[in-house]
Amino acid sequence: MPRRQSDRQSGPITEQEIDIRAVMGCMCMHLRRATRRVTQLFDRLIEPAGITSGQFGLLARLYAAKLRGETGLPIGVMADQHGMDSTTLNRNLKPLLAARLVDEGPAPGDRRVRMVSLTEAGRERLASTMPLWREAQRRVDDALGPEATLALNDLLDLSVARLAD
């Protein structure tokens, strides 16, 4: 069993203590690298719409809620859907609120819960971004192949479910 930093005696670090081959096989490092590459592609292609890929995802989730007849989504639900904490979500929502693409207010049944909803301007921005998003998605499909893209999405969804807290 590897020693923890607090268990280590002072002195030089040995090569046994840093197994660089194991570190280079780190799932987190591989996923972050792939995620950055895909995010850069999407961000570059949808930049003319004036939003980022992350903001596009938030608008899309709110639009899906509207299609289901929901007036909006609670902050906590949105954060969970996007795999982030509420603080990070709030930081990502600020530009959308400033641009009046989303609105926020208290939940009808519980005024302590903040709800976020898509505005008409947000729906229009989402719609105008769709051709740019489709082009980004097409490029990913072309690079990976549509079957690999679907398989990767399925595997990522399974991973999220299995790694849930």
pLDDT in tens, 53-84: 999 999 999 999 999 999 899 999 999 988 89
Number of helices and strands (H, E) in the chain? 7, 3
pLDDT value at residue 3: 53
Q: Which of 57, 32, 33 is nearest to 136 (CA)?
A: 57
pLDDT value at residue 51: 96
pLDDT value at residue 13: 67
pLDDT value at residue 2: 54
pLDDT value at residue 47: 97
Q: Which residues of the chain have pLDDT under 70?
A: 1-11, 13-16, 165
